[in-house]
Structure 1
Amino acid sequence: MTLRARLAGLATRRVFGPEASWLQPVISRALPGIGLVLATSLAAAALGLAPPWLTKQLIDKGLVAGDAQALWLYAGAMFAVGLAALGSGVVNSLLHLRFSAAMLADLRGRMLGAVLGQAAARPLPQVGEAMARLDGDTAEIQRFAFDGLLAAAGSVFRLAGGAAMLFALEWRLALLAVAATPLNLAFLAWARPRTQARAEEVRAGRGALSSWLVETLAGLPTLRSLGAEAARADAFAPLQAGQIALLIRQRRWLELTGAVPQVVNAALRSAVLVAGGLMVIAGTWPLGSLIAFIAYLGMMTGPLQNLLGLYHAQAQAQVALARLSALAKADAAEPGGRAPAPGPGALRFVAARGQGGRHLPLDLTIRAGARVLLDGPSGIGKSTLAALAARLAAPAPGARVFLDGEDVAGLDPAALRRAVAVVPQAPALFCGTLAENLRLSDPAATDAELWQALDDAGLADLLRQRGQGLAMPIAEAGRNLSGGERQRIALARALLLPFRVLVLDESLSEVDAPTAAAILSAILARHPGRTILVIAHAGPARALAFDQAVMLAPDPALRSSRGEAPNQREKARENAV
């Protein structure tokens, strides 16, 4: 292990605790930047220690002694030190911005990777809550980890330097000045748990509010169709009021915890000023020394407050850390495995049922190249069962699925999902161009390959008529497209995968029947040896020449207390078939 890695590990454990081991690589990468910023910060701090001492010399050796040459000398020195401090401050500020922003980007990338790498069957937080963690909580950790380490090191340096100057000027008054530290520490130790509790309330409220907003914006078409915009807007006011109340409660507490140490320090400064003033009046201490002492004492107040404040800031950072750790913990990651061995696309289901499935466990063998209809009442678990083949759903205990003789539980999920392509009823499209959305499946696909996939999905002619082509813009969630167009783009995207098995899960439910029939014919003609698994309640997909039709039967053990089988009533369009 390198020295930087050891330092990062030590800093992570001391600042955040052993449960934050996932944060160590981020801290390690940030250490060189922190070191450079710290060096410039300490240089500025060292320059900041000089002015009070130069002021003392200017007063005692220049003004009081009546020495004009000394006056010019120390005034010039103060001006030069001020310029140097200004320059080092500018450099420090620019370096701080650069490296702290880099650390925040690294931390957000780490958390986004953790979210994207989570097991498909593991439920994620609500979108708004996840956004609050990826944005707000990462910023909280970055501020404390980067700024906190700098503030701690800089404050210790300033305190040590200031204390040395105080003891050099008058050791008895210096002892009086540092007497506030144990009092402040005792108060903040008492207040810290309450600070953490209030931070938890505010963070949770912020996540709930963010989730509410995301849901509202995503559901705007539904709200409009119901004429419920005003009702939804009215519900926003109580949520905001609750969040504001939490923020005010937290702010009152923080102001209190900040005010108590300030009052204690102010009382001790007053005592120092009176005692030092009496010494000046008695002629036992020069006036310049008193002025310098008060200046150094004032310079130490800020660093001392920083160190005491960091004790409370750590409590707030621990709240953010706990929320991020829930996303980053190792057992949430998608378990890896080996790449699937080459094969023709045969499937075997053994006692198969997804978690929450309502059907009897299924034993089924599907030969390579077969066309299979998976049928059954709505909600019985057809989609979940098919998703087990791509590890996109959690299996019930004892359920196993094999692809060409290999248990999918031991296969690399990314490679598996390129072999078993699942096209859902409600696919996700992303802001960007049509080509960018299609190349999510194959970044190296040529334009000709994209057009071929679009042609198979029944979109190529339509796009050529519109004159937009592959550069056609796609709005957020594909809102500028019809439901059928979104489904066909998702189908074209899946056709770019090197799949052995294609799962069509109501994938053409919003496409008119003639077009859907033509699309299915094109797919079967272009991919004659691929295994096709179809879930469809109605339409041309049910009219294919299937090699197998599998009807999922309700599990009698899951009947309700009234003796009714779950999902007994089918959708109207199922009844029409």
Structure 2
Amino acid sequence: MTTRQRLSELMIRRVFFGADWLTPVMARALPGTATVLALSLVAACAGLAAPMITKAVIDQGIMGGDMGALLFWAAVSFAVGLGLVALGICTSMQHLRASMRMLGDLRLTILGCALNRNPAMPDLTVGEVQTRIDGDTAEIQKFLFDSVLVAVTALFRLAGGTVLMILLDWRLALLPLLAAPFELWFLSWARPGTQARAETVRTERGGLNGQLAETFIQVGGLRALGALNTRADGFETQQGALFDAQARQKLWAESVGAVSKLLTAVMRSAVLLVGGWLVIRGDWQIGSLVAFLAYAAMMAGPLRNLLGLYHAQSRARVALARLNEVVRDAADPEEGAPCPPAFQQLGFIGARGQAGAHAPVSVTLKAGSRVLVDGRSGIGKSQLLSAIIGQAPLAEGRIELDGADTAGFSMASRRRAVAYLPQRPCLIRGTLRDNLQIGNDNPDDAALWRVLDMVDLAGWARGLSGLDTDLHETGANLSGGMRQRITLARTLLRSSQVFVFDESFSEIDAESCARILSAIEAHLADALCIFVAHAGPVRSLDFARIVDLSVETQGEDMREPCVRLVGTG
């Protein structure tokens, strides 16, 4: 383990107990953090010198009546101020670049976990996932990145400012320190309230984003129902709840901050009174009073920043708890043994998909054969078949490849060995080429045109912009049948050993479907092809086996699920 990794692990365990998944992110961010920290410390040194320069201008130049000293120290003050401006710009830009890199790294980490969540875990809404990837990661990144800078810089400024105040007058230096214990106690008392309000805001924001995403996903259906106004009213209600939560959080934050500002004002007034009295008596120079007041103001800022980190951590912990749910439920898709490069049979051993309404299935399907999985809607066909690639968990039983339980194989290799094509097409905004290449190893244009020809789309594409034809989000500018054909073409680019077509032809007209099925039969002659279809040309194929998940009536009120196997191939 490198020094950077050890330091990152120590920091994460001290700040976020148990969140070890953050350690690699922090380790990668440390070089950028160190650069910003170095620049910040240089700026802090210059800032600490400024009041002393002002003291020299007043005491040696103005009060001392020395024009030479006045010009010299004024020039030094201008140079330091100019340097601070340039340093501030440099530090700000470096801070932005380092922050963006860390935030991007953190978001990619959470995105990977969200995309590989265990199917057995409760689903998160699209809006909720967006809120966590966007808002919660930003809260964590801000605290992780800025806490190091704030803590080190604030401690440096506190130490330097305290020493310089003691040099000016050790008795007055005690005044700012007297307020610190009370402020620490108050912030400790207020911290649970800060965390509770942060939790409420995060929950309300997730609900609002979830409703918004769901509305746009279903906008076509809602428009057809004439329910857009109803949905808008629901959005307004949810938005109002978020605004109320944010207002309560803001009021709490302002109230907590007001106490700190009040203590600072009291301390400053005390310094003015005592210091002014010393100046009037002639025991102190006015420049020293001005410098002391500047350091007292400097002390208030770093001290408030350090105490503020205590509250910032409570907000970050809320975000961390939400991200931990995503990380905890994620599975490494490459974990496990690879599927065999070639297998002869796929077996269902007492298998039933989650929420399946059929009896456990025990059947062996041979490579190169054609199989129909039949049964009424809702009986569990899709759940059973999607379990082959781990898309859904099994309620009971197991699935085997050549006698080996698929649970022992990695998800990634199962998804390479088995091509599962559901009824709802998966299309993204982009070109036709972009959509055909998803999940495939960058096939050349010749291969893309071959599969387009198999699904009767080559002529359509050539009549538009070819492979550069634009597809809207989810393929919204295409008919259902066209969307299904594109996903069929993409699937035919796969070199899988098993192909599952789950109602994948349901929106294609019968004549085109028959031609496409003929092309698929020839193209996938050696592959095991499993079909689900309630109607259409698919049901006319020459199946080696039909697995009929049906329900028989036994008795007057009892319905017992059963499985009938037709065929022996």
Residues 60-209 of structure 1: pairs in structure 2 closer than 5 A:
60-209=59-208
CA distance in 2, matches of 1:131, 1:164: 48
- Quickly say closer, same or farther: Cα 1:555–1:282, change in 2 above 3 A: farther
Aligned residue in 1 for 2:530: 533
CA distance in 2, matches of 1:334, 1:565: 37
Task: String of CA shifts for 1:285-316, please: whole Å, max 9, x gaps.
Answer: 11111111001111122111111111111110
Q: Please tell me the root mean square deviation across aligned C-alpha atoms, in Å.
A: 1.8
Aligned residue in 1 for 2:26: 27
Q: Would you say the 8 A contact 1:122–1:332 is kept in 2?
A: no
Q: Would you say the 8 A contact 1:144–1:314 is kept in 2?
A: yes
Residues 527-566 of structure 1: pairs in structure 2 closer than 5 A:
527-554=524-551, 563=558
Task: String of CA shifts for 1:461-499, please: whole Å, max 9, x gaps.
Answer: 2222x2321111111111011111111111111111111
Q: Would you say the 8 A contact 1:137–1:324 is kept in 2?
A: yes
Residues 295-334 of structure 1: pairs in structure 2 closer than 5 A:
295-329=294-328, 332-334=331-333
Residues 455-470 of structure 1: pairs in structure 2 closer than 5 A:
455-464=453-462, 466-470=463-467
Aligned residue in 2 for 1:476: 473
Shift of residue 109, structure 1, vs aligned partner: 0.8
- Quickly say closer, same or farther: Cα 1:45–1:556, change in 2 above 3 A: farther
Q: Would you say the 8 A contact 2:343–2:401 is kept in 1?
A: no
SS at match of 1:178: helix
CA distance in 2, matches of 1:342, 1:23: 36
Residues 236-275 of structure 1: pairs in structure 2 closer than 5 A:
236-275=235-274
Count of residue correspondences? 562
Shift of residue 120, structure 1, vs aligned partner: 3.9
SS at match of 2:389: coil
Task: String of CA shifts for 1:437-462, please: whole Å, max 9, x gaps.
Answer: 11113233111111111122221222
| Pairing 1:14–2:11 present | no
CA distance in 2, matches of 1:284, 1:270: 19
In the superposition, the TM-score normalised over structure 2's length comes to 0.96
Aligned residue in 2 for 1:5: 5
Aligned residue in 1 for 2:366: 367
Shift of residue 152, structure 1, vs aligned partner: 1.4
Aligned residue in 1 for 2:503: 506
Q: Which of 402, 405, 408 matches 2:406?
A: 408
Shift of residue 406, structure 1, vs aligned partner: 2.6
Aligned residue in 1 for 2:567: none
CA distance in 1, matches of 2:3, 2:534: 62
Q: Would you say the 8 A contact 1:389–1:403 is kept in 2?
A: no
Aligned residue in 1 for 2:427: 429
In the superposition, the TM-score normalised over structure 1's length comes to 0.94
SS at match of 2:499: strand
CA distance in 2, matches of 1:467, 1:330: 44
SS at match of 1:179: helix
Q: Would you say the 8 A contact 1:118–1:334 is kept in 2?
A: no
Aligned residue in 2 for 1:46: 45
Counterpart amino acid of residue 458 in structure 1 = D
Counterpart amino acid of residue 439 in structure 1 = Q
SS at match of 1:485: helix
Between 359-368 and 410-419, the greater mean CA deviation after superposition: 410-419
Higher strand fraction (1 or 2):
2
SS at match of 2:395: coil
For structure 1, the residue ranges without an aligned partner over 5 or more in a row are 568-577
SS at match of 1:396: strand
CA distance in 1, matches of 2:283, 2:173: 16
CA distance in 2, matches of 1:556, 1:198: 55
CA distance in 1, matches of 2:250, 2:553: 57
Task: String of CA shifts for 1:306-342, please: whole Å, max 9, x gaps.
Answer: 1111111111011111111111126654472121122
Residues 338-377 of structure 1: pairs in structure 2 closer than 5 A:
338-377=337-376
Shift of residue 506, structure 1, vs aligned partner: 0.3
Shift of residue 68, structure 1, vs aligned partner: 1.2
Aligned residue in 2 for 1:575: none
Residues 563-574 of structure 1: pairs in structure 2 closer than 5 A:
563=558
Q: Which of 437, 440, 443 matches 2:438?
A: 440
SS at match of 1:49: helix
CA distance in 2, matches of 1:352, 1:275: 84
Task: String of CA shifts for 1:29-74, please: whole Å, max 9, x gaps.
Answer: 0000000000001101110111110111111111112111111111
Counterpart amino acid of residue 406 in structure 1 = A
For structure 2, the residue ranges without an aligned partner over 5 or more in a row are 563-569
Aligned residue in 1 for 2:417: 419
Aligned residue in 2 for 1:573: none
Counterpart amino acid of residue 515 in structure 2 = A
Aligned residue in 2 for 1:572: none
Q: Would you say the 8 A contact 2:121–2:329 is kept in 1?
A: no
Point out 4+ residue stretches in structure 1 off by more than 6 angstroms: none
Q: Would you say the 8 A contact 1:517–1:540 is kept in 2?
A: yes
Between 275-284 and 507-516, the greater mean CA deviation after superposition: 275-284
CA distance in 2, matches of 1:75, 1:562: 98
Q: Would you say the 8 A contact 2:334–2:413 is kept in 1?
A: no
- Quickly say closer, same or farther: Cα 1:146–1:86, change in 2 above 3 A: same
Aligned residue in 2 for 1:210: 209
Q: Would you say the 8 A contact 2:358–2:561 is kept in 1?
A: no
Task: String of CA shifts for 1:90-141, please: whole Å, max 9, x gaps.
Answer: 1101111111111111111111111122234444310000000001111111
Shift of residue 86, structure 1, vs aligned partner: 1.3
Shift of residue 251, structure 1, vs aligned partner: 0.5
Shift of residue 255, structure 1, vs aligned partner: 0.5
Q: Would you say the 8 A contact 2:429–2:472 is kept in 1?
A: yes
CA distance in 2, matches of 1:444, 1:331: 27
Between 67-76 and 199-208, the greater mean CA deviation after superposition: 67-76
Shift of residue 566, structure 1, vs aligned partner: 8.5
CA distance in 2, matches of 1:555, 1:448: 51
Aligned residue in 2 for 1:384: 383
- Quickly say closer, same or farther: Cα 1:498–1:121, change in 2 above 3 A: farther
SS at match of 2:7: helix
Query: Percent identical across equivalent pairs?
Result: 49
CA distance in 2, matches of 1:350, 1:342: 22
- Quickly say closer, same or farther: Cα 1:562–1:292, change in 2 above 3 A: farther
Q: Would you say the 8 A contact 2:176–2:267 is kept in 1?
A: yes
Shift of residue 507, structure 1, vs aligned partner: 0.2
| Pairing 1:496–2:496 present | no
Counterpart amino acid of residue 15 in structure 2 = V
